Structure 1
Amino acid sequence: MSKLPRRSFLKKSAVAGLFMGISANSYNATFGAEAPSERVRVGMIGVGNQGGPRNNMNYFMNNIEAICDLDANYRGEAAAYLDKQTGRSVMMTDDYRRLLDAKDLDAVVVTVPDQWHALMTIQACQAGKDVYCEKPLTLVIGEGRPMIDAARKHRRVVQTGSMQRSGLEFELATKLVQSGAIGTVKEVNVTLPGPNWIDHAKSPVPNSVPPSDFDFDRWLGPAPMRPYNKNRVHYLFRFYWDYSGGQQTNFGAHHLDIAQWGLGMDDSGPISVEGTAVYHPNGWYETPDQTVMKYQYANGVTMNCRQTPGTPSNKQGTEFIGDKGSLFVWRGGLEASSADLLRSVDVPELLVRDGNVVTLPNEEKRYANIAHVQNFIDCVKTRQTPAADISIGHRSATVCHLGNIAVRSGKKITWNPQTETIEGDADGEQWLNKDYRKPYSLV
C-alpha cells in the first residue's frame, strides 16, 4: 500500500472506511507503513471537540507525538484514546509553548477558540513549526496579514482547516463554475444553519468559579477578562463576540470559502456588504439567530448569504447561478440545473452520478477531512503550497467578518480588497482590529 499513488491511497482508504473507529491493528497496518524517518511529527494544541478523538485526532493519528489542552479531562481522554488506537503514549502538557520549543516536532495543529488562532500560528511559525490552523483563520480581519507575514518570513507551511477545499464534490463544483459550464456567473446564494447553542447549553446558568482542572485565565488569553460561565467555553465559545463570530464564521468559513473559490477570488473579495440580523429575544448568547446579507463584487456578481434556523444539512451550501444554468453544492453532493452541465468535466470515481445530481456515498462523508490533512502532511514534506493556504484562509475569513461587521454596525460597508480597508466610514477601522488583554500582544 505504501507504493500506491497518494490519490489512489486516499480513495482506497475512504472506500474501506478506515478512518472511522479503526482498531490499533488495522490502523497500524493501514497507516503505519511509512518509515519513521519520513513521518511528520505533530503536536496537537486543543484536543476537545473538533480537536478531539472524533475529529482531528483521528485524521492525524499516526503523526501525533504530543497533546496539549488547558482542560485536564480533555487531555486524559485524548491520551487514553491514542493509547487504545495505537498502543503509543505521548507527551502531555497544558502549555502550548512546550510544543513550540520541542525539537522533535515538525508541526502543530491549532484547534482552539478563535481568539488564540493568530497568536499561536505566528508563534509557531517563529518557532520553525508548520501549522494546521482551524477555521476561521482569524477573530478579526486585522490579524490576517501579520499571520501571513510570519508564515512567509519563516517559510512555513500553514494550512487553514477549511477541509471542503479537499472535498471531491466541491472540487467538481468549482471546476464546473470556472470552466464556464453555467456561463457567466451572475449571482451566488450561500445558506448557513442557525445557532445550536440551545442544543448544547439548554438554558443559561449563573457565573461560577472555574473548575480546578481547567485553566480559564489562559483559555481567555488575549480576550477580555470575564467571569467564568460554563455556557461560554469549550464548544459554546463560538456564540460570543469575544471569542468568535457565530455561524457566520463557523459554517460561513466553509460555504463562503467555496463561493470565493468558485468565483476565482482567493486573492481578493467583495467591494461592499450590507445586511440585517435577528438575535435571541432574551440574549442567551450574543451572535445572531438569523441573518440576511448582500455582498457585491467588482465584476458585477451579487452574493446573498442567509443564516436560517431549521435548514437541513443538504440545503446548507453554495449555489452559483449563471446565464446558462445553475449549480448547488453541499456536503455530500451537488445538483446541476441540467444533466448536460455535468458532461463537460469528468466526475471523480468515488462520486455517484444520477442525472443532474452527483452524490458522495454516506460511508465517504469524512473523505474531505482525510484528504485535507493528507494534503497538509504532503506539503510539509514537499514544501509546496497547501490546498487552503493561509492567504486563502485570510481572504475567506475576511468575507465572513465583513458580513458580521455590516449587521453589527447597521451600515453598508464599502470594502477595498486591494488595501483591505473600509472606505468612507470614520468608524470603520474599529471593526478591523481588537485590543488584546495585557500581557498578550499580536506583534
Structure 2
Amino acid sequence: MSSAPRHVSRRTFLAVGAASISMPSIVPNFANAAPGERINVGVIGLGSRGFNLIDDLLAASDAQIVAVCDVDKLHYRDQPWGEGRKFGLKAAQEYIEQKSGSRSGVSGYSDYHEVCSREDIDAVIVATPDHWHAICTLEALQNGKDVYCEKPVTHTFREGQTVYQEVANQKAIFQTGSQQRSDWRFRRAVELVRNGHLGRIQSIEVGLPPGYEAPQGDPKVTLPPEHLDYDFWCGPAPKLPYTRARHHRWWRGHRAFGGGVLMDWIGHHNDIAHWALDLDHSGPTRVEAVGWTFPQTNIYNTPHHYEIRCEYANGTKSSIGNGHPIGTRFVGDEGWAFVTRGKITASRMEWTDPNYDPGQEKVYESDNHMRNFLNGVRSRTACICPAETGHRSITPGHLAYVSQKLNRPLNWNPEEEVVIEDSDANKLLQAQDYREPWG
C-alpha cells in the first residue's frame, strides 16, 4: 500500500468524533484515547527546544512519540561535556522511554527522510536549526504528514512562500511554534486593539533582544566531535569550519544557519503586532533597516544592534528592534497597552484583569499550543498559527536584511509579495543557494 492513501485513511480515522466540532478551541482532548487512536508523532531536532516539545507531547495522552531524529548522538548544548542536561538522539530515546514508561522503545534515526517516509506516522515536529526548517517540513508534507515547525518558520523568504503553498496543496494541518498566541495575555492585547479600546493605532514598538556582540562560546576552530555528523548538520548551508561558538545554541549568529537574534524573536513579538492589526495574510507597505551594527568577530555576521521601521496601509508605523523593552507596545490615540511574556500593562489597568471582557470581537482562542496542533490533526481545522501566518510575521525581517544590504528603504506590495519597482531587491529576496546535493 502506498503511503499517501494509508495516511489519508488514518486522517479519517483520527477525525472520528471530532468532525462535527466546528470551533477549534472546543475540540475534545481525547484524554482516554486507546493506543490505536493516538496520533503517532516523529520529532526531528533534539536540542533544547526539541526537548520542550517532547515534554508537551508526553503530556498529551492521545499522542505517542514513535520516532526521533538527530545527527548528533549526544551533547550538552553550550555546557562543558557532562554538565547540565543531555540532548541529542540517545538522550531523547532514553528520556522518552523513561517518562512514558514504554518498554517497546522509540525508534531513533539520523536521517529525517526515514521519519517522514514512515507510513504509521501522522505528524512530524521540526525543531532543527533554521536552515533545515523548510527542507524537513517539505519532505514531511510531501509524505502526507501534518507538521508543527518551530519559528522562524523558514530561514529564507522563498522557503516561506514554498512551505505555505505546499501546506495548501496538501491540505495539511500546520502549526508554527509562535506559542505566544496560545497565552491569554497576548490574546488580551490583541482584542483590546481589535475592539477599539486604544483608538486608532498610531505606532507599535516591537522589542527584541540584542544580537551576539562577541563569541558566545569557545571560538577555536577544531575538528567536529565524533558523536556529530557535522556535514549532515550543515546540510544545505555552507560547510563552515566547526567551532563551538557557532554550533549548539549559538548557530543562529551566522546567516548560513539562522537570521540572528532578530529572526529568532521577530516571529514572537512581531507576530503579535500583525495579529492585532489583522495582517495574517498581509503585511507592511514600507520597510527600512536603520542603524544596524555588527559584531567585531568573523564567527557571526548578524546584527548586534538593529531597528526595522515599517509603515502599514492604515497609517500605523512600527519600530522593531533591540532598543525597545522586549515585548509589544501598542500606542493609540485613546490609550496604550504593552504585553510581554508573563506580563500585560495598559493605560487602564482594568483592561489587564483576566476576567475583563474586551468586547464583541474575539480572536482565535488557544491556551496550549501543542494541544491546539493535536486537536487540529484530529478535526482537520486550522491551527492558531498556520504556515502563512508564520511567514507573514517574519517577512519584515527578511525585507530588512535586503534593505540593509542595499542601503535603502523598500516599498512592499503585501498582496503580491514583491518589492515595488526594485528588481535588485526582489532578486535578493528570492535568492536560494543550497549546497549540493540539497538543491
TM-score category by the smaller chain?
A: 0.7 to 0.9
Structure 2, unaligned stretches of length 5 or more?
1-22, 75-87, 359-364
Question: In the TM superposition, what are the counterparts of 1:197-346 in structure 2 within 5 Å?
Answer: 200-201=216-217, 203-206=218-221, 208-274=222-288, 275-308=290-323, 315-339=325-349, 341=351, 346=356
Asked if 1:407 corresponds to 2:404, the answer is: yes
Maintained 8 Å contact 2:209/2:262: no
C-alpha distance in structure 2 between counterparts of 1:69 and 1:370, whole Å: 29
Question: In the TM superposition, what are the counterparts of 1:160-179 in structure 2 within 5 Å?
Answer: 160-179=176-195
Relative distance call for 1:343 and 1:82 in structure 2 (3 A) is closer
Relative distance call for 1:8 and 1:119 in structure 2 (3 A) is closer
Secondary structure of the residue aligned to 1:145 is helix
Secondary structure of the residue aligned to 1:131 is strand
How many percent of aligned residue pairs carry the same amino acid? 35
Shift in Å at residue 286 of structure 1?
1.4
- Name the residue aligned to 1:434: 432
- Name the residue aligned to 1:139: 155
- Name the residue aligned to 2:12: none
Secondary structure of the residue aligned to 2:421 is coil
- Name the residue aligned to 1:69: 70
Cα RMSD for the two superposed structures = 2.6
Relative distance call for 1:283 and 1:437 in structure 2 (3 A) is closer
Secondary structure of the residue aligned to 1:433 is coil
C-alpha distance in structure 1 between counterparts of 2:44 and 2:90, whole Å: 14
- The one of 413, 418, 422 equivalent to 1:421 is 418
C-alpha distance in structure 2 between counterparts of 1:291 and 1:345, whole Å: 37
Secondary structure of the residue aligned to 1:268 is coil
Relative distance call for 1:177 and 1:266 in structure 2 (3 A) is same
C-alpha distance in structure 2 between counterparts of 1:281 and 1:347, whole Å: 50
C-alpha distance in structure 1 between counterparts of 2:182 and 2:316, whole Å: 25
Given residue 305 of structure 1, which amino acid in structure 2 is its aligned partner? I
- Name the residue aligned to 1:376: 373
- Name the residue aligned to 1:360: none
Maintained 8 Å contact 2:213/2:304: no
Given residue 426 of structure 1, which amino acid in structure 2 is its aligned partner? S
Secondary structure of the residue aligned to 2:39 is coil
Given residue 289 of structure 1, which amino acid in structure 2 is its aligned partner? H
- Name the residue aligned to 1:47: 46
- Name the residue aligned to 1:94: 110
Maintained 8 Å contact 1:240/1:286: yes
Relative distance call for 1:197 and 1:221 in structure 2 (3 A) is farther
Given residue 297 of structure 1, which amino acid in structure 2 is its aligned partner? Y
Shift in Å at residue 63 of structure 1?
2.4
Given residue 127 of structure 1, which amino acid in structure 2 is its aligned partner? N
Maintained 8 Å contact 1:138/1:397: no
Structure 1, unaligned stretches of length 5 or more?
11-29, 349-367
Secondary structure of the residue aligned to 1:205 is coil
Relative distance call for 1:101 and 1:9 in structure 2 (3 A) is closer
Asked if 1:186 corresponds to 2:194, the answer is: no
C-alpha distance in structure 2 between counterparts of 1:199 and 1:329, whole Å: 31
C-alpha distance in structure 2 between counterparts of 1:185 and 1:204, whole Å: 45
The CA deviation string for residues 27-72 of structure 1, in whole angstroms up to 9 with x for no partner, is xxx99733223311100001112112xx111011252111100001
Give the number of aligned pairs: 390
C-alpha distance in structure 2 between counterparts of 1:283 and 1:301, whole Å: 37
C-alpha distance in structure 2 between counterparts of 1:299 and 1:112, whole Å: 37
Maintained 8 Å contact 1:131/1:159: yes
The CA deviation string for residues 180-199 of structure 1, in whole angstroms up to 9 with x for no partner, is 01011110001111135758
Secondary structure of the residue aligned to 1:427 is helix
